[in-house]
């Protein structure tokens, strides 16, 4: 008993220090970001908040939509509520464009059985649950989730949904198959970037990013690629923070300062 007490006396402060360090790390990771505005409407785009993550509904036409990501709720209740307010059902979702394959972006996919699921080719296995990445390996082994990616996307292509063009950009770093999409003048960044309360753009959260240096390089490269078409970008939407509504400037400003 005395030996056990001595061990606990030694371990107690160590555990306390580790818990404090973890708390500080989580505070730094999750503070300072622009809050997600649930229901925010842009031109043909609606932001839907699903707990700590957001996704977007993009209008294809009056009766059909696409999703950028599918949220963290397996029953997709936040998305279905947003659709219901418009008088639409789950069959109105014709496509789901995944910015990457993490579960908090794919959980609601199966609630939309008629939607064509698309992801960049390097993240197809991740989206389908056949691999586990990064720190998430600590919490479980691969387990197929029933999601089937119908179309593997590639950098630089344009997806046509009805009459709506969606441009596809590879932005590896957060995951190897992270994608950005440009549609209806909104640049959808997924977890590859964050919006700060000061209206600036920051790289994806380091704690959850596979390759932070590659993430930053991808953002710089994306800024260069989009600069000739800067007038086409009216807003930048990030998955875990709010929407920046001052065009491409936050991305180009980041790229200019990240030398």
Give 33-72 pLDDT, tens digit per residue: 999 999 999 999 999 999 999 999 999 999 999 999 999 9
Q: Which residue would you say has higher pLDDT here, 13 or 149?
A: 149
Six-digit token string for 1:
């008993």
Residue 13: its pLDDT value, please?
Answer: 52
Task: Yes or no: say if 212 and 194 are a contact pair by the CB < 8 Å rule.
Answer: no
Residue 75: its pLDDT value, please?
Answer: 98
**Is pLDDT above 50 for 211?**
yes
Residue 16: its pLDDT value, please?
Answer: 41
For residue 81, give the 3-state DSSP assignment.
Answer: helix
Continuous segment of H or E residues that includes residue 221: helix 212-226
Task: Yes or no: say if 120 and 155 are a contact pair by the CB < 8 Å rule.
Answer: yes
Over residues 14-36, the mean pLDDT reads 51
Over residues 206-213, the mean pLDDT reads 92
Residue-wise pLDDT for 226-245, tens only, equals 999 999 999 999 999 999 99
Residue 41: its pLDDT value, please?
Answer: 96
Residue 43: its pLDDT value, please?
Answer: 95
**Is pLDDT above 90 for 177?**
yes
Rounded mean pLDDT of the chain?
89
pLDDT-wise least confident of 17-31, 129-143, 206-220, 237-251: 17-31
pTM of the model: 0.88
Task: Yes or no: say if 120 and 86 are a contact pair by the CB < 8 Å rule.
Answer: no
What is the C-alpha separation between 123 and 136, in angstroms, rounded?
15
Residue 244: its pLDDT value, please?
Answer: 98
Residue-wise pLDDT for 75-109, tens only, equals 999 999 999 999 999 999 999 999 999 999 999 99
Residue 172: its pLDDT value, please?
Answer: 98
Residue 207: its pLDDT value, please?
Answer: 87
User: What percent of the chain is predicted at pLDDT more than 70?
Assistant: 85
Task: Yes or no: say if 188 and 178 are a contact pair by the CB < 8 Å rule.
Answer: no
pLDDT-wise least confident of 12-16, 113-117, 194-198, 250-254: 12-16
Task: Yes or no: say if 117 and 80 are a contact pair by the CB < 8 Å rule.
Answer: no
Over residues 109-130, the mean pLDDT reads 98
Residue 141: its pLDDT value, please?
Answer: 77
Over residues 117-139, the mean pLDDT reads 87
The b-or-e profile of 98-136 (16+ CB within 10 A means b, else e) is bbbbbebbbbbbbbbeebbbbbbbbbbbbbbbeebbeee
Task: Yes or no: say if 102 and 71 are a contact pair by the CB < 8 Å rule.
Answer: no
Over residues 159-180, the mean pLDDT reads 98
pLDDT-wise least confident of 95-104, 140-149, 179-188: 140-149
């Amino acid at each position: 008993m005395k030996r056990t007490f001595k061990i606990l006396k030694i371990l107690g402060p160590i555990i306390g220090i580790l818990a404090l360090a973890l708390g500080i790390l989580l505070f730094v990771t999750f503070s300072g970001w622009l809050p997600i505005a649930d229901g925010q409407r842009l031109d043909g785009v609606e932001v839907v908040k699903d707990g700590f993550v957001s996704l977007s509904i993009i209008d294809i036409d009056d009766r059909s939509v696409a999703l950028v990501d599918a949220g963290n709720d397996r029953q997709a209740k936040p998305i279905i509520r947003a659709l219901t307010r418009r008088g639409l059902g789950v069959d109105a979702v014709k496509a789901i464009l995944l910015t990457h394959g993490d579960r908090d972006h794919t959980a609601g996919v199966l609630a939309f059985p008629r939607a064509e699921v698309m992801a960049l080719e390097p993240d197809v296995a991740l989206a389908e649950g056949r691999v586990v990445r990064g720190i998430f390996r600590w919490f479980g082994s691969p387990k197929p989730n029933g999601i089937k990616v119908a179309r593997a996307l590639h950098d630089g292509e344009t997806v046509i949904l009805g009459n709506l063009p969606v441009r596809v950009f590879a932005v590896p770093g957060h995951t190897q198959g992270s994608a950005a999409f440009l549609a209806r003048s909104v640049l959808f960044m997924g977890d590859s970037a964050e919006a700060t309360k000061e209206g600036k753009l920051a790289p994806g959260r380091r704690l959850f990013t596979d390759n932070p240096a590659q993430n930053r390089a991808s953002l710089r490269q994306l800024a260069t690629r989009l600069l000739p078409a800067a007038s086409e970008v009216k807003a930048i939407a990030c998955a875990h923070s709010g929407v920046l509504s001052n065009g491409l400037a936050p991305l180009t400003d980041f790229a200019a300062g990240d030398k």
